[in-house]
Amino acid sequence: MNENHDSKETNAKSNRISINPFWLIITILAAVILSSVITALSLEAGSEKAVNVGTDTRSEFSKLYNVYDTISTDFYDEVDNEQLIESAIDGMVQGLEDPYSEYMNMDATEAFQETVTGDFEGIGAEVIQEGNRIIITSPMRGSPAEEAGIEPGDQIIEVDGESLEGMNTTEAVQLIRGEKGTDVVLTIVRGEGEPIDITVTRDTIHIDSVTYEEVDGVGHISINRFQQGTTEEFEENINQAADDGVEDIIIDFRYNPGGLLSEAVTMINQFVPQGETALLLEDSDGEQVPLRTEGSHNENTEDMNVHILINEGSASASEVFAGALDDHFEEVVIAGTQSFGKGVVQQTQEFSDDSMLKYTNTKWLTPDGRWIHEEGIEPDVNLVNPDYYRVEILNEEDVYTEGQESDTVTSIKVALDTLGYEVGTINDDYDGTLTSAVESFQEDNDLEPDGNVTGETSRLLMSELRNYINENDAQLDYLVSFINDEHDAGEIEEIAEENARHIEIPTLEELHEEASEDSTE
């Protein structure tokens, strides 16, 4: 038995050793290749081919990749893949349904940076849209536009030979702006004259965020937005007011949309000593962190009586400032109308292609812990603007004539009444008294006195009303009158309300809806 067992064991070893190594290697290679082919075919036939090829393998992205692959390969026309990705990112941000979060491409990022620095390259002129016309309201002092002879009221009809017909101000400005040192040819119409070409050499333009004037002994400091250097500009003007012996100051934030939070904090520091809370930041977990003032306050502000002027266009950083001073100083007076109510803060993230993501990451609260989001700041003295600030802009192509009734007719009556014409009872009825007033306005402006409001009559009426508003700041006049003890708070509020009784004032909710709609267009 032992001999037989040994023989079998020897034969088994002999059989194992006799396998040819060459065929063993070939077999292993064939198995590897077959496995690779099966895997490749499986991925090609599968529904997630884009997910596992150099991309994030998280399952929530599989649909996104599949849609991208389908459009890239099967769409009937040529596809710009980069634009597909840009649109996907933009759609993702819009899905937040947050009016303050947005994805900006390179051009939009550049425009955003200009608002932060106050610097841009262009001709240095402010423009507005009147009906279907783009009008120069004013060239900035010392700007290329002023040096080239551009005047207020000039209508721009072409930029470098391209017609502005049908364009809005944003589209027109994009054509006018350009690289420093380059020329732009503006074709303008001045008054009733023929079109003329004016060549303007673009330059770097800086917009001051702070202006100062003295009105009846009161220092009026206006801050149009918080950009880099705003606090420095403000300090220079507050020191100038002190040198002028001014004791009462108005800090004007009307239509100030905000800007850099850091500038708001350093400007608060002009009044509030070092180490005090300027505002509170609250994260998604409800944890609050105070932002404190870091420098010494400005001693010139100690003996000043501070009045803050706000309206429905005052938002974000301007509300941060107003809320901080309101909490720190009982004697500070806030006047105007209820502010916009933006109680959230945005963070930015820049990418290598110069695009940018701006997204909301925290709430902010006043030092006393008030969250004013969608509620705004209530003024101590309510000073609503007169009716003529809310006049409906007239379309030159529309015709208004005797016998009609509409809200627009009310606006026409308010406008003419403001300019000194007798319109009778202000209501929505286009009656004979209004016809006579329109005829008088037309005669004064060398127009055919037919009593109808259309065309050139509409344009001139809007233009003269705008000039009147620029020269007569009702809210500022109300507040100066209050500061100089010409009227007490109750009296000045009654005067303001009486002058604002004919045209409906939009609610804060309506303003928020408009802002939300504008942000998604």
pLDDT, one tens digit per residue, over 243-296 is 999 999 999 999 888 999 999 999 999 999 999 999 999 999 999 999 999 999
Question: From CA 218, how far away is CA 485, in angstroms rounded?
Answer: 12
Torsion of the alpha carbons at 219, 220, 223 and 224, rounded to the nearest 10: -160
Contact between residue 364 and residue 279 where contact means Cβ atoms under 8 Å apart = yes
Non-local (6+) Cβ contacts of 453 within 8 A are 394, 399, 400, 401, 412, 438, 461
> In the prediction, which pLDDT does 33 show?
56
Rounded mean pLDDT of 437-445?
Answer: 98
> In the prediction, which pLDDT does 27 show?
59
Domain 388-472 matching CATH 1.10.101.10: the answer reads: yes
> In the prediction, which pLDDT does 333 show?
98
With H, G, I as helix, E, B as strand and everything else as coil, classify residue 347: strand
> In the prediction, which pLDDT does 54 show?
47
Largest CA distance in the chain: 139
Rounded mean pLDDT of 229-252?
Answer: 97
DSSP β-bridge partners for residue 186: 159, 198
In the chain the first and final C-alpha atoms are separated, in Å, by 97
**In terms of Cα–Cα distance, which of 327, 238, 312 is closest to 279?**
327
Q: Per-residue pLDDT tens for 288-342?
A: 999 999 999 999 999 999 999 999 989 999 999 999 999 999 999 999 999 999 9
> In the prediction, which pLDDT does 169 show?
80
Residue 462 has pLDDT above 70, yes or no: yes
Say what angle helices 230-243 and 261-268 make with each other, to 10 degrees: 30
What percentage of the chain's residues is helix, strand, coil (to nearest 5)? 40, 20, 40
Task: Record the tokens describing residue 72, joined without a space.
Answer: 């890239």
Q: Per-residue pLDDT tens for 44-83?
A: 444 444 444 444 567 888 999 999 999 999 999 999 999 9
Helix then strand count (H, E) for the chain reads: 16, 19
> In the prediction, which pLDDT does 290 show?
97
Domain boundaries, the chain: 119-206, 210-382, 388-472
Q: Sorting pLDDT into bands at 50, 70 and 90, what band is 521? A: very low
Residue 392 has pLDDT above 60, yes or no: yes
Q: Sorting pLDDT into bands at 50, 70 and 90, what band is 30? A: low
Q: Which CATH superfamily is domain 119-206 in?
A: PDZ domain (2.30.42.10)
Task: Record the tokens describing residue 346, joined without a space.
Answer: 């945005």
> In the prediction, which pLDDT does 514 show?
63
Tokens 């006799």 correspond to: 18
Rounded mean pLDDT of 408-434?
Answer: 97
Contact between residue 291 and residue 281 where contact means Cβ atoms under 8 Å apart = yes
3-state secondary structure 318-371: HHHHHHHHHHHCCCCEEEECCCCCCCEEEEEEECCCCCEEEEEEEEEECCCCCC
Instruction: Measure CA 494 to chain center.
Output: 33
**In terms of Cα–Cα distance, which of 363, 291, 277, 289 is closest to 325?**
277
Question: From CA 57, how far away is CA 342, in angstroms rounded?
Answer: 38
**In terms of Cα–Cα distance, which of 495, 466, 467 is closest to 481?**
495
AA letter at 509: E
Burial class (CB in 10 A: 0-12, 13-18, 19+), 520: exposed
Question: From CA 420, how far away is CA 410, in angstroms rounded?
Answer: 15
Catalytic residue among 342, 413, 417, 429: 342
With H, G, I as helix, E, B as strand and everything else as coil, classify residue 265: helix
The percentage of residues in the chain with a pLDDT greater than 70, rounded to a whole number, is 87
29-33, 101-105, 115-119, 363-367: segment of lowest average pLDDT = 29-33
Q: Per-residue pLDDT tens for 166-212?
A: 888 878 888 999 999 999 999 999 877 889 999 999 999 888 899 99
Q: Is 327 a catalytic residue?
A: yes
Catalytic residue among 154, 327, 387, 417: 327
> In the prediction, which pLDDT does 170 show?
75
Q: How many CB atoms lie within 10 A of CB 236?
A: 11
Q: Per-residue pLDDT tens for 467-511?
A: 898 899 999 999 999 999 999 999 999 999 999 999 988 777 777
Non-local (6+) Cβ contacts of 224 within 8 A are 207, 209, 210, 211, 255, 256
Catalytic residue among 138, 209, 316, 411: 316
Task: Record the tokens describing residue 51, joined without a space.
Answer: 């997910």
Give 210-382's CATH code, choosing from 3.40.190.10, 2.40.50.140, 3.90.226.10, 3.10.20.30. Answer: 3.90.226.10
Q: Sorting pLDDT into bands at 50, 70 and 90, what band is 15? A: very low
Averaged confidence pLDDT in the chain: 87
Q: Is 138 a catalytic residue?
A: no
